[in-house]
Amino acid sequence: MQLIQENEALQTNDEENMNLWQSILNDVQKHGNPKLNPNKQIVVLGDNESGKTTMVAKLQGVENSSKGSGLEYAYINVRDDYRDDHTRLGVWVLDGDPSHSDLLKFALNEENFQDTLVILTVSMTTPWGILEQLQHWSSVLADHLDKLKLDIDSRQNRRQSMIKKWMDYVEPGDELDPASPMKRSSRNLGDDDNEDYDSSALPEGTLTTNLGLDIVIVVTKTDYIQTLEKEHDYRDEHLDFMQQWIRKFCLQHGAALFYTSAKEDKNCDLLYKYLTHRIYGFPFHTPALVVEKDAVFIPAGWDNMKKISILHENMHSCKPDDYYRDVIVQPATRKAVNRETELIAEDEQGFLARLQQISFGGAPAPGARLGESPMRPGPITGMQPSPRKLDGSKVVSTPGGEGVLANFFNSLLHKKTGSPNTSLVNKSGSESLPDKATMRSDAAAELDRLARGGKKPPAPSSVNSSTSSGVDFNASDC
């Protein structure tokens, strides 16, 4: 009997030991050091020129960034020295053009919803548009999520997870102090306990728009604050007014806030550390930074309306609830208009008459040198003197084919007044002139010869106008 009791006791101890080891194994499996999840990703949204590409390049550790279009994909190498593991964190960058919003379905869908963190970017170079841009991209994201065929329970669990992360935030350095006002829970950030959290327990204005996604607001190009102060008369109260509105937006969406400057390398490394902390659970020990106006950092879970109200003390010319655009006004821009001088073209017949007078009339135009062509710069070499009258009706044709040019210009001057099929006839009733095509060809050849400064053909022995040019050129024709 005693032997049986001893065996039962031993069996009971073995079962207890087995249960103990099983409990330890389950705990290690749940809270141990698993491999980095290769399916994690970031989706970056924001207007064009808001610094999305430069920010991603900084996270990658790359100096030169190439801007794409539509939906761009990149990745960040993430290494965990503690676990001796590494992976690639995918990054999707959506173009700021509203027509590309439909491409978001390729980056964020039902399969990767739970593994996605969203970054909304705005730029300090356009401070008047910051609040509108944040509201716009939040609306785009919310509309896209509503179109996804997400399981109701899955999305509700994600919302509960966001509430839990906010309420479980612990100020760095206060993890071991049970009396710390920032220590709300002893649970770790990575726990996935299926415990419901009452959203009514959240502080005022917190997570009123709970999309079930981790969101980080990044204000880029904060080095431009110096330009705003010098050129646009921005003061500390303007910057505080902007910051309190942005922090209210972050509070509503449960988002973290970063002021970054890639030019001055402010908060870029801190952003990388915070992202890996939120996505992979890496240690993070940096508290909130609110002193430097161009390097603000507000972690998710730290802020509340009471802390935001501290900024109100510095506002004298505006009120915290004033309309954003009434205080942060977009400056008027004046675009220089280049007006080209209007040139009125000279009448064709007047131009040809003047050109004929210059070339053959013997009287140069005012300001023109003898033998200078109005269509070409510089004098034309080889130009012969104008024909001179021998009597009241006859004109001597000068050598070099200038009679051909005279006929050409006469035909142009009379093309509108005369009949289209009527040939010019000399006053003596001789044969009609050659057709216009031949005449223009001869004239073009003669002009080309004069422009090249070629040698003139020998003058004909006769000065009879009917044999040299086949036309009587009267003063009345000019």
CATH number of the domain where residue 197 is located: 3.40.50.300
Q: Is 20 within a domain?
A: no
Domain end call among 294, 327, 360: 327
SS3 (DSSP) at 214? strand
Interatomic CA distance for residues 288 and 281, integer angstroms: 18
Mean pLDDT on 363-372: 46
For residue 339, what pLDDT is reported? 62
Domain count of the chain? 2
Report d(CA 219, CA 247) in Å as an integer: 11
User: Cα(24)–Cα(30) distance, rounded to whole angstroms?
Assistant: 10
More confident position, 267 or 18: 267
Q: For the segment 398-408, what is each residue's pLDDT rounded down to a tens digit? A: 445 566 666 76
What's the mean pLDDT in 294-307?
96
Same domain as 195, residue 90: yes
Q: Which residues contact 460 (CB under 8 A, 6 or more apart)?
A: 399, 467, 468
pLDDT score of 433: 46
pLDDT band of 195, cuts 50, 70, 90: low
Note whether 191 and 293 are same-domain residues: yes
Same domain? 353 vs 386: yes
**What's the DSSP call for residue 372?**
B
How would DSSP label each residue in 59-118? HHT-SS----SSEEEEEEEEEETTTTEEEEEEEEEE-S-GGGGGGHHHHS-TTTGGGEEE
In a domain, 360, yes or no: yes
**Is pLDDT above 70 for 422?**
no
**pLDDT (tens digit per residue) in 306-318:** 999 999 998 999 9
Contacts of 388 (CB under 8 A, 6+ apart): 362, 395, 396
Asked if residue 364 and residue 217 are part of one domain, the reply reads no
What's the pLDDT score for residue 15? 65
Among 18-32, 149-163, 301-315, name the one with the lowest average pLDDT.
Answer: 18-32
CB 355 within 8 A of CB 409: yes
**Cα 444 → chain centroid:** 54
What is the pLDDT at residue 362?
A: 54
Q: What is the pLDDT of residue 165?
A: 93
7 in any annotated domain: no
Residues 249, 108 share a domain? yes
pLDDT, tens digit (0-9, with 9 covering 90-100), for 269-283: 999 999 999 999 999
Specify the pLDDT at position 9: 62
**For the whole prediction, is pTM greater than 0.85?**
no
Q: Does residue 53 sit within a domain? A: yes
> Does one domain contain both 207 and 245?
yes
Q: Would you say residue 335 lies in a domain?
A: no
Averaged pLDDT, 203-230: 95
Rounded mean pLDDT, 309-330 = 94
- pLDDT class for 210, splitting at 50, 70, 90? very high
Do 215 and 290 fall into the same domain?
Answer: yes
Percent of the chain with pLDDT over 70: 64
Q: How many CB atoms lie within 10 A of CB 135?
A: 11
What is the sign, positive or negative, of the torsion defined by CA atoms of 224, 228, 229, 235? negative
Give the whole-angstrom CA distance, residue 206 versus residue 250: 8
For 128-146, what is the mean pLDDT? Answer: 97
- Non-local CB neighbours of 464 within 8 Å, separated by 6+ positions: none
333 within domain boundaries? no
Mean pLDDT within 127-138:
97
**Domain match, 196 and 113 both:** yes
Tokens of 404: 């051909």
Per-residue pLDDT band at 336 (split at 50, 70, 90):
low
| CA-wise closest residue to 34 among 85, 68, 99, 69 | 85
Between 115 and 438, name the one with better pLDDT: 115
- Would 266 be classed as within a structural domain? yes
| Residue-averaged pLDDT of the chain | 78
Query: What is the predicted pLDDT for the residue at 332?
Result: 81
Higher pLDDT, 369 or 241: 241
Of residues 411 and 79, more confidently modeled: 79
Answer whether 298's CB lies under 8 Å from 286's CB: no
Q: Is the dihedral of CA 342, 348, 352, 357 positive or negative?
A: negative
Strand 85-94 to 71-80 pairing:
antiparallel
pLDDT number for residue 20: 73
Nearest to 295 by CA among 264, 259, 244: 259
Flag whether 199 is in a domain.
yes
For residue 324, give the nearest of 147, 109, 134, 193 by alpha carbon.
134
Q: What pLDDT digit, counting tens, does each position of 24-75 carry?
A: 767 656 555 668 999 999 999 999 999 999 999 999 998 877 777 899 999 9
Q: Are residues 91 and 160 in the same domain?
A: yes
Whether 247 and 177 map to the same domain: the answer is: yes
Q: Which domain holds residue 375?
A: 348-424+432-457
Residues 439, 404: contact at Cβ < 8 Å?
Answer: yes
Q: How confident is the model at residue 280, as a pLDDT?
A: 94
The answer to whether residues 191 and 223 belong to one domain is: yes
Q: Please indicate, yes or no, whether residues 251 and 363 belong to a single structural domain of this protein.
A: no
